[in-house]
Amino acid sequence: MRDISKKKTAIVTGASSGIGRAIAGKLVAMGYEVYGIGRTFSDETSMKEGFHPVICDLRNTKELLSAVREIVKIRDTELKVLVNNAGAAYYGLHETLDPEKIQEMVRVNLEVPLVLTQQLLKYIRENKGNIINISSVTAVSSSPHGACYGATKAGLMSFGRSLFDEVRKHGVRVTTILPDMTDTALYRNADFEADDADDAHLDPMDVADAVGYILGMRGGVSVPEIMLRPQIHRIKKKKN
């Protein structure tokens, strides 16, 4: 029988800024105890009641595993949600990348979600919880000047599809969200950024609201994938 004294808990990677920060805030507002993993946190983020910053470099697997094991050991924790959100992106012609940038994108965008899900799935299964992967619209289209990034996000989408069929019989819901151009720092290594017009980019809260929608569905209903796109397709070139 479920222990109602336990707090429903969520883990969110990349929770210090952008989409991850918005998702963490949404989950706190929905009554979750949120453990947000990131490399640095502002005082404003850290002071939110119900939000617990976990400082960790996701690229360090040993450090990451130690951090999540400490979370699940907390006695009043009932892990209900894992949001694999953290992302790394480098843009340009593929031949201009270097092995370190390629390895970082593969590690953060794909390997970390695979490892985290493997480590935490038994707890989420016990609680009939949710795994939410933040992929990208580039997972389903060609991505010139972002071929490696798009490939990692396509891999994450493929993982979500297979995992859904693997665990749905256990009551676990798996959803992949595919956002288009979102006003975040993801494009800091690019020569372009989100256009300023409200209808030409997504806001991080748009993705957070999609997470809220997924978690608000009645039991027995699953949303395997959601694509979010701005009404207008337009980007802005950065000034030199």
CATH entry 1.10.1740.10 includes domain 7-237: no
Residue-level pLDDT at 152 = 98
Write down the pLDDT at residue 238: 64
Contact between 230 and 180 under an 8 Å Cβ cutoff? The reply is: yes
- Report the distance separating Cα 124 and Cα 27, nearest Å: 16
Contacts of 158 (CB under 8 A, 6+ apart): none
Confidence tier at 215 by pLDDT (50, 70, 90):
very high
Calculate what percentage of the chain has a pLDDT beyond 90: 74
Q: What is the pLDDT of residue 232?
A: 86
∠ Cα 44 185 137 (to 5°): 120
- Burial class for 108, CB neighbours closer than 10 Å (0-12, 13-18, 19+): buried
Name which of 35-49, 84-98, 209-223 the model is least confident about.
Answer: 35-49
pLDDT at 32 over 70: yes
Q: Tell me: the pLDDT tens digits for 85-109? A: 999 999 999 999 999 999 999 999 9
Write the pLDDT tens digit of every residue in 128-162: 999 999 999 999 999 898 999 999 999 999 999 99
Q: pLDDT higher for 5 or 41?
A: 41
**What pLDDT does residue 197 have?**
80
Q: What is the pLDDT of residue 2?
A: 44
Q: What is the mean pLDDT of the chain?
A: 91
**So what's the pLDDT on residue 191?**
66
Which residues make Cβ contacts (< 8 Å) with residue 7, sequence separation at least 6? Answer: 32, 33, 76, 77, 78
For residue 27, which amino acid is it?
L
Q: State the DSSP string of 54-94.
A: EE--TT-HHHHHHHHHHHHT-TTEEEEEEEE-------S-G
Mean pLDDT, rounded, for 207-226: 96
For residue 196, pLDDT over 60 is answered with yes
pTM over 0.85: yes
Percent of the chain's residues with pLDDT above 70: 94
Residue 237: pLDDT band (50, 70, 90) is: confident
H/E run at residue 105: helix 99-106
| pLDDT-derived band at 233, boundaries 50, 70, 90 | confident
Q: pLDDT tens digits for 52-75?
A: 999 999 999 999 999 999 999 988
The predicted structure's pLDDT at residue 188: 73
Q: Give the span between the Cα atoms of 111 and 60, in whole angstroms.
A: 11
